[in-house]
Chains A and B, each alone.
Chain A
Amino acid sequence: MKDTLVNVENLTRIFDVSKPWLNRVIEREEKKLLLAVNGVSLEIRRGETFALVGESGSGKSTIAKMIVGLLSASQGKIDFDGIDLFQPGGAEMRALRQRYQMIFQDPFASLNPRWRVNKIIAEPLRKFDMESSESARHKRVEELLELVGMSAKDGVKFPHEFSGGQRQRIAIARALSSNPEFIVCDEPTSALDVSVQAQILNLMRDLQDELGLTYLFISHDLSVVRHMANRIGVLYLGRLVEVADGKELFRNPRHPYTKMLLNAIPDLDMTGREVARPDGEIPNPINPPSGCTFHPRCPIATEYCKREIPSARNSEAGSVACFEATGD
């Protein structure tokens, strides 16, 4: 049952957001550090969709970028299929790179506007020397285009000739071209029309079934996550506050922040449920609150929460980082 593909341990990323050196000296200011991701540990199992949710500024995208190597981590460790991502060099890294891919948020920025679609999709193939000849590569590109529900003839066009949904399909085709096992999806539908979102999500699920992919799915949209995720991790200010199975999290949220988020989902079923607006805003990560960072917004916070930082408590259903949360 426990077949871990990606294991993240104590991942931390600190950004230096201080002013230039000269300004600091003249204005007598300290260095300002932003703790974007703070000691996050999680594991992603083979074949599942692990979703990371959280408000903007909670560190979702930073985690995604560290996992695929676009950002370096300040601390911590990432294992991909048992191999330490921060250690290997040369040929091993090259082999690893072929095994993970990323789908980006903005389909209007993720495709080089000067390249034809053929060339865009074939780029990973070229880089990893995957097809023997130019015609074999071309054939593979045509297959990929058809796999994501486009016409093989679309390859000769430029990205600007397509709509947002079609572009995202092209981006998916590119991500699939190196036959990866693991795909990081950084809000893949948030830039799309609601009607198109469902098409892209269904395509991604079909591809997962067909190719046995593992997804790390990042989103701020809980209704999208509900549709996609097997397991969900809730981020708050760079900390993972709750991890639980998808259905369990929606049925029985334990962390007060998760409860707050779930209460804010618009009630489309007209059950008459009261939709509570979340109180307050996410605090400034440069100067986070003491103790549990959620305590200023928490309805059940005690004096103890203001002093001590809760660590994750594991249980049957998942883990939760809260002193007061009960299993119900």
Chain B
Amino acid sequence: MSMNKETDEKMSVIARVLDSDIWYSFTRSKVTMVAALVTFLIFASALFAPIISPHDPFDLASLSLMDSLLPPAWNAEGDPNYLLGTDDQGRDVLSTILYGSRISLAVGLVSVAFAAVLGITLGLVAGYMGGRVDAIIMRVADVQLSFPAILIALLIDGTVNALVGGMDRERSAFTVLVISIGLSFWVQYARTVRSSTLVERNKEYVQAARLIGLHPFLIMLRHVLPNVMGPVLVIATINLALAVITEATLSFLGVGIPGTQPSLGTMIRTGNDFLFSGEWWITFFPGAMLAALVLAVNLLGDWLRDALNPKLR
């Protein structure tokens, strides 16, 4: 590697990325490029929602019930001001989707990260240490698994509300959601990582590291972790979608994000009530957005799994 150190330094970061194996495999797969583009567009539009969206759906003063339940603009009864129509509160569906995907993505990403860090750590320790540590962690996981996310969320929400006094509901909602979704998802990571760790720790490269007296913590971090991350990445992408859906369920039950600042899931649930009366657009467009997001992220995850596996390079 040091042979081309001088050339390395001359090359800019961009040039090095363009030269890497991962970039090569990226350019070889059209599906991946489309998925990346879609993911990028969704993330960007969520990030820049205040700039690009035509209305501010969170500004309750600007809403008018006169404009409620308008169909999309291309419809005869549509209003060109509201491209994708309005919901029952008179909010512009397009703007609400942009703002809502912001909240959904934030909850999804943070709770998945929280669950992954917690689950990977506990799984690694349980699998590598074995014995009593393993038994305790995995029994806790079993107990955890028997509680649905909703129950945990209700419990945490109730506790938090009792502590904060229900005044800061809007601010605490996000944290409560992230913690309750994270706490109900970590078991999956822990189990997957534990079972892969059980296989890896008996392999001879781990024994070689133990032989020279490397600290167990360093063996887990340097040797075992990179070799058990493959399945974790796939779970994380699938879980991102699941977390968004769980968030929707919780929000619907009134435990999650308040209805004044709807997330994608909240919109789908609200729109669901109007589906049979013909107002399909309230639920269809946020649903399409969610489906596109989940599909694109999953496809990216699949590609990443293959690209990071040195055996398939």
Q: Are A127 and B213 in contact, with the CB atoms below 8 A?
A: yes
Determine whether the beta carbon of B203 is less than 8 Å from that of A114: no
Q: Which B residues lie within 8 Å of A309 (CB)?
A: none
Contacts of A98 in B (CB 8 A): 212
B212→A128 contact, CB < 8 A: yes
Chain A residue nearest in CB terms to B312: A160
**Structural contact, B227 and A114, CB atoms closer than 8 A:** yes
A94-B213, A97-B211, A128-B212 given; A109·B1 CB < 8 A = no
A279 to B297, CA, bound (A): 62
Q: Which residue of B lies closest to A134 (CB)?
A: B2
A156 within 8 A of B: yes
| Nearest neighbor of B208 in chain A, beta-carbon distance | A110
Contact B208 A174 (CB under 8 A): yes
A160→B227 CA distance, assembly (Å): 14
| CB contact between B213 and one of A97, A102, A120 (< 8 Å): that residue | A97
- Indicate if the CB atoms of B213 and A93 lie closer than 8 Å: yes
| B311 contacts partner chain A, Cβ-Cβ < 8 Å | yes
Instruction: Kindly identify, within residues 206 to 225 of chain B, every residue whose CB is under 8 Å from any CB belonging to chain A.
Output: 207-214, 223
CB <8 Å contact, A102 and B208: yes
* Interface positions of A (Cβ within 8 A of B): 68-70, 93-94, 97-98, 101-102, 104-106, 109-114, 116, 118, 120, 123-124, 127-128, 135, 138, 153, 155-156, 158, 160, 171, 174, 178
Interface residues of B, Cβ cutoff 8 Å to A: 1-3, 203-205, 207-214, 223, 226-227, 310-311
Q: List chain A residues, Cβ under 8 A from B211.
A: 68-70, 97, 101-102
The chain A residue with its CB closest to the CB of B209 is A123
Chain B contacts for A120, CB-based, 8 A: 205
Distance, CA A93 to CA B214, complexed state (A): 12
Cα–Cα distance between A98 and B209 once the two chains are bound (Å):
12
User: Using Cβ atoms and an 8 Å threshold, which residues of chain B touch A174?
Assistant: 208
- 10 residue pairs of the A-B complex, CB under 8 angstroms, read A98-B212, A104-B204, A104-B208, A105-B204, A110-B204, A113-B227, A118-B1, A123-B214, A127-B213, A160-B310
- Whether B212 pairs with A97 at a CB distance below 8 angstroms is yes
A112 and B205: CB pair below 8 A? yes
Complex CA–CA separation, A101 to B209 (angstroms): 11
Which chain B positions have C-beta within 8 A of A94? 213
Whether the Cβ atoms of B311 and A160 lie closer than 8 Å is yes
> In the complex the two chains form, is B227's CB within 8 Å of A112's CB?
yes
Please indicate the chain A residues that have their CB under 8 angstroms from the CB of B214 in the complex: 123, 127
A138: chain B residues within 8 A (beta carbon): 2
User: Which of A109, A118, A178 is the one whose CB lies under 8 Å from B212?
Assistant: A178
B212 touches A127 (CB 8 A): yes
Contacts of A128 in B (CB 8 A): 212
| B1 proximity list for chain A (CB < 8 A) | 116, 118, 155-156
Measured CA separation A200–B52 after assembly (Å): 67
Q: Once bound together, how far apart are the Cα atoms of A101 and B207, in whole Å?
A: 11
A180: min CB distance to chain B, Å: 10
